[in-house]
Amino acid sequence: MWFKLSKNKSVRKTILNIVFIYLSTTILLVISISFLYIKNQKEEIFNLHREQTNTQANYIISKLEDFDEAIVDEVVIYPRIDGLESAIYDIDYNMIFSTFKQKIVFKDKKYISKDEYIYFIYKVEPYYLGTAYLVIQKQKGYELKSKYKKMVFVVLFIILFLILTSFIIAKMLIKPLSDNLILLDRFIKDTTHELNTPISAILNNIELLNLDTIDKKNLKKINRIKIGATTISTIYDDLSFLLLNNKQKSNNQNINISQTLYQRLEYFDILATNKHIEFKKEIKDDIYLVIDKLKIERLFDNLISNAIKYSNVGSKIIITLDEIHFSIEDFGIGMYEDEVKEIFTRYKRFDKTNGGFGIGYSIIYNIIKEYNIKINIDSLKDKGTKVILKW
């Protein structure tokens, strides 16, 4: 359908944000204009009623004046106008005569609004027949109710129209970006897929070599090749995870994460050895956690590779694992407090000299969020960083 949202989360989120802002601001504007229109209509109807009652009040007051001048002892018939209700009061607001069906209080007011009626108050001077105030009742009128109904219908129609058109407008605005993201996504998928075969071939063939028969000079070269291939392999794993994470359901199992951690440390041993970094392991055996195997590997890999990457040459990395937590502490470049606050922002890099794409902690954040794992990062610039995960 024409309003179907994109499968890309970023594009979908952008479209929804645009639609929300567009709708909220436009609807607010429409409601504000409607409110001002109704207010103006109320004032016009009120003024119209006021003009009508001014004429009617003058007529009644003139009749009271005539009666006041002609009266002796005979009974006076109160002046009436068809369809008009009125009342007269003395100086103390006591009712002299009224055709109203309800009692009103109007002291020191020019008009009052009560229920479905407006009461206009006129002072009578001099006090004909003891009358100090004339009050005329006017029904608020069906005109305003009719305008209310029409306005509500118009506003609802406009809102519905805006909802239908906002998605079209948003998609038209986002389409160039969406097309580019689709091309970029396809390129990354193809590139990532093509990287896997040569990387695996390099690493597998290095493992098959008999390193005991190779001289030290060539052994160093092979180690450099292995380090480069391991680094590329880690980047490949991260890219694959980013591409597939939202499309694959987690395969949670009760995994021995102690074994997994030992395996990942062995995998990164070549990188640590190259920087003369010592792994100080405080790992308790047979610690189990219900989690997806791929995700616990990505979690450990990113934390271990970051620790190695940002550690000082010849330092150590302390790795601890028990039933309730995992921690990894390095003694390297560390981070400032404001950098720690932004560490989970994707593509955010604070030290560009060590390479990387700034996606490691973004992956970490997505995993710990899924499994409700708490994370604490303590870091001091030029002192080091300690990351603690609690489950």
| DSSP letter string, 230-269 | HHHHHHHHHHHHHHHTTTS---EEEEEHHHHHHHHHHHTH
> Mean pLDDT highest for which of 46-55, 181-190, 243-252?
46-55
Residue boundaries of the structural domains of the chain = 11-144, 209-390
Q: What is the pLDDT of residues 369-379, one digit of tens each?
A: 989 999 999 99
Q: State the Cα angle at 98 between 93 and 103, rounded to 5°.
A: 65
Backbone dihedral angles phi then psi of residue 274, each to the nearest 5 degrees = -60, -30
Q: What is the pLDDT of residues 113-163, one digit of tens each?
A: 888 888 999 999 888 888 999 999 988 765 666 777 778 888 888 888 888
Asked if residue 188 has pLDDT above 80, the reply is: no
Supply the pTM of this predicted model: 0.53
Tell me, what's the pLDDT at 7?
59
DSSP 331: -
DSSP H helices, the chain, are 9-70, 142-208, 216-244, 257-267, 269-274, 293-309, 337-341, 360-370
Both tokens assigned to 209: 């070599």
Asked if residue 236 has pLDDT above 70, the reply is: yes
Give dist(CA 165, CA 62) in Å, integer.
Answer: 62
Domain 209-390 has CATH 3.30.565.10: yes
Give dist(CA 49, CA 118) in Å, integer.
Answer: 9
Between the alpha carbon of residue 248 and those of residues 153, 217, 258, the distances in Å are 46, 45, 25
The sign of the dihedral angle between the CA atoms of 266, 270, 274, 275 is negative
Contact call for residues 178 and 8 (beta carbons, < 8 A)? yes
Q: What is the pLDDT of residues 156-187, one digit of tens each?
A: 888 888 887 877 777 777 777 667 767 766 77
